[in-house]
Amino acid sequence: MLGELAVERRGMDVSNEGASTLDQVVPVSRRTLHDELVGRIRDLIIEGHLAPESRIHEGQLGQALGVSRTPLREALKFLASEGLIELVPGRGAVVRRLTPRDVRDMLDVLAALETTAARLACQRASDAEIASLRRLHDEMMGYYAVRARLEYFKRNQAFHAGLATLSGNAFLAATHEGIQSRLRRIRFVGSDAPAKWAGAVAEHEEMVLALEARDAERLAAVIARHLEATWVRVQDVI
């Protein structure tokens, strides 16, 4: 289960070479071991390689990732703050299981955030931004047409994240992203059945149309309906 996980440490990554002005220079993002581990472990949990309720063995996981316990533990604390794992005194970290209640609650919060984002986006977003979201949607529809479920799903998530970003409220977008990532696994397995899938696609189409018309209330209503439907779709996989 934990084979071939070793972390590859990357040095600094100088991008943005040909910038002519210094105003828009993005700081060199050097990937630290901490970030790398946080991302990696988060994926292990979301993708189900670390099962809910299971204890995380620091020694084993550390060895599998090729890292000592110290940075690993630090990454675990970080993830605990995100709510993905629980720290049990004396027994270490346990992967948190989402109860139906948790999922329902999180979807309600997600709805509150997305409808707020929707209203803001209808006011603030530029035509170009809306057009780029439309492109993302069309791309998604392309993957839907050929039933490429994973690729479709990624665009789907990106679409919702993009909508949050278009609100112009970075904090909202970040909060939204945090919740969405925690629900990712459940939503993925919940979109399994073709009928469910089709429903979600139709709702997305409506959302794009409402956004293009900058009809905030209609967009908010569709989003609320979409997330209500999501709840129905995921209910039997929790």
Partner DNA sequence: CGCAAGAATGCTGTATGCAGGATGATAGGA
Partner DNA sequence: TCCTATCATCCTGCATACAGCATTCTTGCG
Select 11 or 127, whichever has its Cβ closest to DNA.
Answer: 11
Report yes or no: 52 and 96 within 8 Å, Cβ to Cβ.
yes
Closest C-alpha among 66, 135, 101 to residue 238: 101
Question: Tokens 């620091």 — which residue?
Answer: 58
Shorter beta-carbon distance to DNA: residue 91 or 101: 91
- Binding track over 84-103 against DNA, x by CB under 7 A: ---xxxxxx-----------
Under the binding rule (CB under 7 A), the answer on residue 29 touching DNA is no
* CA–CA gap between residue 93 and residue 156 (Å, rounded): 31
C-alpha distances in Å from residue 137, one per residue of 53, 85, 188, 214, 237: 36, 33, 17, 16, 26
58: contact with DNA by CB under 7 A: yes
Q: Which stretch binds DNA (CB under 7 A): 71-79, 104-112, 178-186, 226-234?
A: 71-79
The token duo for 135 is 């492109």
Binding letters toward its own copies, positions 98-137, x by CB under 8 A? ---xx--xx-xx-xxx-xx---x-----------------
Residues of this chain that interact with DNA (CB under 7 A) are 32-34, 55-60, 67-71, 73-74, 87-92
